[in-house]
Amino acid sequence: MIDFNKFTKYSKPGPRYTSYPTALEFDEKFDTNALLAEFDKQDKKRPLSLYFHLPFCRSACYFCGCNVVFTSKDDKKERYIQYIEKELKILASHLDTSREVIQMHFGGGTPTFFTPEQLNHVITLIKETFSNFAKDAEISCEIDPRFFTPEHMQVLKKSGFNRISFGVQDFDPKVQEAVHRIQPYDVTKAAIDLARSNGIESVNVDLIYGLPYQTFDTFKKTLQMARSLDADRFAVFNYAHVPWLKKTMRKIDETTLPHPSVKLEILKYTIDYFTSEGYKMVGMDHFAKPEDELFKAIEKGELHRNFQGYTTKGGADLIGVGLTSIGEGKDYYVQNYKDMKSYEAAIDEGRLPVERGIKLTEDDIIRNAVIMELMSNFKLNIPKVEKEFGIIFKEYFSDALASLKEFEDADIVTITDKEIKASPTGEMLIRNISMAFDAYMLPTDENKKRFSKTI
């Protein structure tokens, strides 16, 4: 039996590493002109990945860390679509939109909070701008089962969507009430059944551990109920409590949040449970059926991590469209304005709505490769890194290896000349292990208002 209490000392603020450097390092020096300079150097042979942020929700879910606009007014959504159209036109004047699109994702907010007609309008605008979609393109949408109708499904089906992710978080009524998201099991099952009956072969379900009033026993029941939905993938996220960033999180009573030792116990059980049910762990928070392409990608060493989570579609330039969307190239990250007025003003001026970003240094690129490999596969091939970047690993990362000594002594990680590999316990602490290679990390006390805790 693992003594989870002894590992709670590792519960400290740290990034989730959907990027490296993290978004906190982006600044306004990387502006619209900087992005256009990158577009001028674009490799037209590199495919595109498209992300569209549809930010509207009817009401707040208190756990949510997304950039959301709460409204019940339809005209706000109509206005947003008009600006999406304008942004796409500006984008098309600078970017070769004939490049092959291998991935497209709708995130939110709640994309299906838009009416089916509005959603169809957005998709039509996209297809008019980007006409070269690969036959095997991954086209996905995040969905709140409470806002999903047969009419929505028909629009998605007609438009070639082949992957749907359903937000659940937790099935316990007390937890749902505490996070202001009442979503009975039957509502979720009906939504998944609707997707399946319309030929959607890849279904993901999102769960969150660490929410108020969750216990080991209540989450165990949630896992059993979620498993009965027979999703192809499950994403089980650690709740990121950042009330200094998200005002709605201040409505959560912090005394009701489970202790880090309980969260570790929940995570360990979750891993064991899904493994016993035939799923394979993918990265730090995903589980997939063995026939799923995510698991196949791990076996081939082709799993990648970006702002959309784990993906098999690497080697593409990510183009973010809409409020707060993030884009990514070979050596840069860029983010649109988070404020609607600023976003609209930029577009009205005829420029892309870039608020900030970062141009990666050579050191950033090397550390990015190391951290993303650890986050994806829980291990690192040292000779491969040395060959790719022309470095002597032990010399280049001497400080990181020294800081990992305590993890090595605790059997959390194994380090040889050939490999760094996390133990089963280390897999649960992979964010902590990866932090050793992060050149931007400040002392923990300075990081308290920067990141959520790793456990």
225 contacts 192 by C-beta, under 8 angstroms: no
Sequence-distant (6+) residues with CB within 8 A of 330 are 43, 46, 317
DSSP calls for 221-241: HHHHHHHTT--SEEEEEEP--
Long-range contacts of 28-32 (CB under 8 A, 24+ apart): 28/355, 28/356, 30/332, 30/334, 30/354, 30/356, 30/357, 30/358, 30/359, 31/354, 31/356, 31/357, 32/346, 32/351, 32/352, 32/354
Q: What is the mean pLDDT of the chain?
A: 91
pLDDT at position 283 is 77
Start and end residues for every CATH 1.10.10.920 domain found in the chain: 362-439
Residue 430 near residue 422, CB atoms below 8 Å: yes
Q: Tell me: pLDDT of 299 over 90.
A: no
Round to whole Å and give the CA distance between 115 and 255: 39
Average of per-residue pLDDT across 74-82: 96
Q: CATH 3.80.30.20: which residues of the chain?
A: 31-321
CATH fold for domain 362-439: Arc Repressor Mutant, subunit A (1.10.10)
> What does the pLDDT look like over 257-290, one tens digit per residue?
999 889 989 988 999 999 999 998 887 788 999 8
- Report phi then psi at 171, rounded to 5: -100, -5
pLDDT value of position 449: 46
pLDDT interval class at 444 (50, 70, 90): very low
Residue 316 sits at φ, ψ, to 5 deg, of -120, 150
| pLDDT at residue number 451 | 57
Assess whether pLDDT exceeds 90 at residue 187. Answer: yes
Amino acid at 436: A
Asked whether the predicted pLDDT for residue 307 surpasses 90, the reply is: no
For residues 72-101, give the mean pLDDT: 96
Q: What's the mean pLDDT in 226-241?
A: 94
Classify 252 as helix, strand or coil.
Answer: coil
**Chain centroid to CA 102:** 18
Q: 31-321 architecture in CATH?
A: Alpha-Beta Horseshoe (3.80)
